[in-house]
Homo-oligomer: A and B are copies of this chain.
Amino acid sequence: MAINVTVWNEYRHERNNPEVARVYPEGIHGLLATVLQKEGHSVRTATLDEAEHGLTEEVLEKTDVLIWWGHAAHSEVSDQIVERVCQRVQDGMGLVVLHSGHFSKPFKKLMGTSCNLKWRGAGEKERLWVVEPSHPIAKGLPEHFELPCEEMYGERFDIPQPDCLVFLSWFPGGEVFRSGCTFTRGMGKIFYFAPGHETYPTYYDPVIQRVIANAVLWAAPSGGPAPVFGFAEPLE
């Protein structure tokens, strides 16, 4: 099943920070687009500094699943585009929010909470545990897997109770984190996945790529009935 995926990236670090440019010479969006194309999907990319951040009505209309990576410039994302993205999620578009996207405007708006957390950028090991192995996003994964070098994200993670908690992360500094969480908003399925600091080659990891590919399949619209709202005549 070919899915129309749009990979959105802030795409500033890669252009401003040589360290990041070395890791992701084509941008995080470029790498993820390549990965998902290999899965057989129809993939486009969009970035902050494009017109309308690359997320025109037309692009979003054709997007089944939107992937979101942002970090330093969340505030530069226009409220109008945020509204548009959230409306498309309501209408059924899947949304996969990566790493520092926890603080992006669309994610915060859809969650209704601060989405705040603890963090530490010290290049520590992160170990992820599959706690709900029945979930489609866990397909083909090992029971636990490791990233040698990640940013620590720790609890309390200020999100509403997830529909399903798929992954938990462990960090050597003593923290834990709900690092893979699903939500539903309107017709749209949302997956938050924590790994992916820009200075580490996390998105080259085949297990991480598997998670994101699984999430795209899971988050694609299911084809359920669009609700009818407003005044209703009695049915009998």
> What residues make up the interface of A, taking CB atoms closer than 8 Å to B?
86, 90, 92, 109-114, 116-120, 122, 124-125, 127, 129-136, 138-144, 152, 154-158, 160-161, 163-165, 168-170, 172-176, 178, 183-189, 222-236
- Tell whether A161 pairs with B133 under 8 Å between CB atoms, given A112-B109, A232-B154: no
A5 to chain B, nearest CB (A): 18
Cβ A227 vs Cβ B158 within 8 A: yes
- Tell whether A168 pairs with B160 under 8 Å between CB atoms, given A224-B133, A229-B116: no
Bound together, the chains give a CA A119 to CA B185 distance in angstroms of: 21
> Chain B contacts of A225 at CB under 8 A?
130, 133, 138, 141-143
Bound together, the chains give a CA A141 to CA B139 distance in angstroms of: 27
Cβ A188 vs Cβ B134 within 8 A: yes
- Tell whether A129 pairs with B176 under 8 Å between CB atoms, given A112-B185, A168-B155: yes
Cβ A135 vs Cβ B227 within 8 A: no
Q: What 3 pairs across the A-B complex have the smallest Cβ distances?
A: A173-B234, A174-B235, A138-B224
Partner of A184, one of B110, B155, B161, B230: B161
Cβ B118 vs Cβ A90 within 8 A: no
Cβ A229 vs Cβ B175 within 8 A: no
